[in-house]
Amino acid sequence: MNKRLLILLLLAWSLGPLLWQVYTSFSTDAALVQPFSQISQRWTLIHYRNILTSNPPFWRYLLNSFIVGVSTTFLCLFLAIPASYALNRIPKKLAMTSRLALVGAALFPYVLLFLALLEIARDLNLGNNLLALSLPYAALSQPLAVLLLSSAFNNIPSELEDAAKLEGLSLWQRLRWVLLPLIAPATASTAILVFLFSWNEYPIALTWISESSKLTLPVAMARIAGSSVFSVPFGAYAAATVLGSIPLVLLVLIFQKPIVSGLTSGAVKG
């Protein structure tokens, strides 16, 4: 009984904010102001109607974030896979030093690089370019991606690659046909983490993108929340939050097994 109660409390703690956002998105303004009073109309779809009929349309922001997320993920993995492979083939002392440097880079608050990135974007004329956002996003995601993938490469027996060498396979053939299939779960979990970071990133997208039609979802939602000076549109903001969370929830549900398998690989040996 105690375990069930603990599980229920954990579920309430975890799902509480999400359920409250869903409730807010379907509530009228009067119901939000006076939640416990008797009012004639408590439920409405007006918030979703306003979001879906906005100009630019809300789906445009979802598409922009999806484009940025996919391009960032492919660029990050394209660089992180060879780097993580090399990290497991260099001398151990150098590899340990490199891993410590990667941990430091992963924990470094990237907001401190904000002004420098803004100057680079201005000098290279990268503003209002969705694909250009993938450059800083992929660079900021590299340390964590390399650490996760290097751990997966470390779990592959060296004898397996030696056997592939005896068969005459080149380095890229070994990566393509032998090693990459074995680290597919770790690659999937890393890809999801990189995609989530690029999907939710706000400060860089806020300064690099100024055109309304090219805004990513977090910036567009922030503009919805600040659209009125005298009141906060809680219902519209909650509706945008729910709609913006649906693609992420579906993505995690579809790739749930690879994510869990990739994150737990190497946790237990023997």
- Give residue limits of the domains in the chain: 40-264
Q: Look at domain 40-264 and name its CATH class.
A: mainly alpha
d(CA 170, CA 175): 9
Which pTM does this prediction carry? 0.85
d(CA 126, CA 134): 11
| Longest CA pairwise span in the chain (Å) | 79
d(CA 76, CA 141): 7
CB 52, CB 240: distance < 8 Å: no
d(CA 202, CA 215): 10
CB 85, CB 153: distance < 8 Å: yes
The two structure tokens encoding residue 96: 């340990």
Compute and round to an integer the Cα radius of gyration of the chain.
Answer: 23
- CA angle, 241 then 243 then 246, to 5°: 105
d(CA 70, CA 246): 17
Query: Which tens digits make up the pLDDT trace of 206-264?
Result: 889 988 889 999 998 888 765 555 667 788 888 888 988 888 888 888 877 766 666 66
Lowest mean pLDDT among 13-27, 91-105, 106-120, 215-229: 215-229
d(CA 165, CA 144): 29
d(CA 26, CA 59): 19
What is the three-class DSSP state of 202?
coil
**Phi, psi (rounded to 5 degrees) for 43:** -110, 145
Q: What is the dihedral of CA 162, 167, 171, 172, to 10 degrees?
A: -130
Query: Which tens digits make up the pLDDT trace of 127-180?
Result: 889 889 999 999 999 999 999 999 888 888 888 888 888 888 888 888 888 888
**Phi, psi (rounded to 5 degrees) for 37:** -95, 160
Most confident of 26-30, 39-43, 179-183, 230-234: 179-183
